[in-house]
A and B are shown apart, each in its own frame.
Chain A
């Protein structure tokens, strides 16, 4: 049986990509909704997408900062940063668990039965490098003679763009196929690598690479919605870690960078009511008795 979260993830995937006319227009949706960023990583060059990708939008603005200043526009990404900041301040990394289509895909693929592998903890910090370098610094610094930079993360890394846009657009527009060279091969190879990793590792792209998850994660400790750990009730059974889609050791502390607030640990894993959440500091506790009660001495 699918949980409520699965249904919401499915609905969010459809609502991020509802433009069903693309097989006829063979082009992208071009309506006004495209000026609003989706909360998750959803490529705006996906033929079905009706929203913008916040990471693509940020890179574009950074890459065009110089010409924008020359033209007197002074666009530095405040609109997109504002949207991301408002979401982060309210719920931290919660969109990753509930609304991001690429996060959803990773969880589904991870269900394929196989030996599961854990990554070393230090790897979760790599995504901040991708954010700093590929999304901010390289688009800002490496520019052509006219002052235009490029969207480094989209161009050299993003497997979501390859899957949602690279493959379908080349199917819809055969004339573009001639232009596919080593850049395309590189992007397909990265996508293939991650598709394989998803089988063995919990959400590998979200944990190691995603710059959007990296931005949201910075809000986890200060957002209005926060998870709470109750050490007095925790028996260190580590069930929260075993069931966590992000491999977070909740028993080591609430609101860690990789906690996406999926609530699975609270609702399913922890039988000791050692996990709850609070909204604006007001505690919301799971009703005892909903889960099969187990006492500490039964473990």
Chain B
């Protein structure tokens, strides 16, 4: 149990590192940037 728990954080870390790399390779960084640099009308409550 203790040993499993010790490993679980690192296994998840590895998994999400892979997820991150796939997302970066798919070009999602640019999508996030595009959205973040223009005023979001939904966020400010007018659209």
Chain A positions near chain B (C-beta within 8 angstroms): 27-30, 32, 34-35, 37, 43-45, 51-53, 56-57, 60-61, 64, 68, 73-75, 77-86, 88-90, 150-151, 154-155, 158, 161-162, 165-166, 169-170, 173, 176, 179-181, 183-184, 186-188, 219, 222-226, 280-281
Q: Cα distance A32–B36 when bound, in Å?
A: 10
- Least CB distance from B38 to A in Å reads 7
* Cβ-defined contact, A52 with B36, below 8 A: yes
* Cβ-defined contact, B16 with A183, below 8 A: no
Chain B interface residue count, Cβ-Cβ cutoff 8 angstroms: 40
Q: Cα distance A165–B43 when bound, in Å?
A: 7
Chain B positions near chain A (C-beta within 8 angstroms): 2-3, 5-6, 8-10, 12-13, 15-24, 26-33, 35-47
Q: Cα distance A75–B17 when bound, in Å?
A: 17
* Cβ-defined contact, A52 with B35, below 8 A: yes
- Least CB distance from A106 to B in Å reads 19
Which of B2, B20, B41, B44 is in CB contact (< 8 Å) with A82?
A: B20
* Cβ-defined contact, B26 with A75, below 8 A: yes
Q: With a CB–CB cut-off of 8 A, which chain A residues contact B2?
A: 281
Which of A29, A78, A165, A224 is in CB contact (< 8 Å) with B44?
A: A165
Q: Which one of B8, B27, B28, B31 has the greatest number of beta carbons of chain A within 10 Å?
A: B28
Q: Cα distance A83–B19 when bound, in Å?
A: 9
* Cβ-defined contact, B9 with A81, below 8 A: no
Which of A30, A154, A162 is in CB contact (< 8 Å) with B37?
A: A30
Q: With a CB–CB cut-off of 8 A, which chain A residues contact B30?
A: 35
Q: Cα distance A52–B19 when bound, in Å?
A: 19
